[in-house]
Amino acid sequence: MTYYVIYDGNCNLCSSLVQILETLDKGQMFRYAPMQNEPTLQRWGITPQDCELGMILIDADAPSRRWQGSAAAEEIGGLLPMGDVFVTAYRRLPGVKWVGDRVYEQVRDNRYALFGKRNSVYQTAYSVDCDC
């Protein structure tokens, strides 16, 4: 299966996390598109306003299957080797998911102040537009 990760290519944290995923996955399961690539996002009907709600994960085989924000982060974690064990535990611990969702929102809304903003959009080697 292939998934498309839509990330903020201007965000230092987001770009760093994409780089970690690139290293782990090497383009086998995940392909990436920065939120700043509006022509690519238009193919899936994603607007800049949609992107304000956080990262987006799209199932390439069924593009109507999507996750956003902390749900996207959880889904990505669950797809990684042994990740499902940790994500399942995280979701089952009382109150932890609620706290995680609030932390995600705070980081999302303050990411540039907390982690800085890149001078240029991070371009991945495993773009949704390439035949890697």
Query: DSSP states of 28-49 as a string?
Result: SSEEEEETT-HHHHHTTT--HH
Mean pLDDT, to the nearest integer, of 16-35? 96
pLDDT at 132: 58
Residue 126 lies in a domain: no
Residue 130 reports pLDDT greater than 80: no
Length of the chain: 132
Q: Predicted confidence band at 121 (pLDDT cuts at 50, 70, 90)?
A: very high
Spatial separation of the C-alpha atoms in residues 5 and 128, rounded to whole Å:
9
- In 1-132, which ranges are continuous DSSP H helix? 12-25, 38-42, 48-51, 70-79, 83-92, 96-115
Residue 127 lies in a domain: no
Residue 51 lies in a domain: yes
pLDDT at 1: 86
Residue 131 lies in a domain: no
H/E segment holding residue 59: strand 56-59
Residue 18 lies in a domain: yes
Taking all residues of the chain, what is their mean pLDDT, rounded to a whole number?
95
Spatial separation of the C-alpha atoms in residues 17 and 64, rounded to whole Å:
24
Residue 122 lies in a domain: no
Mean pLDDT, to the nearest integer, of 110-130? 94
Residue 128 lies in a domain: no
Number of domains in the chain: 1
Determine if the pTM surpasses 0.85. yes
Residue 41 lies in a domain: yes
Which range marks the domain in which residue 31 is found?
3-115
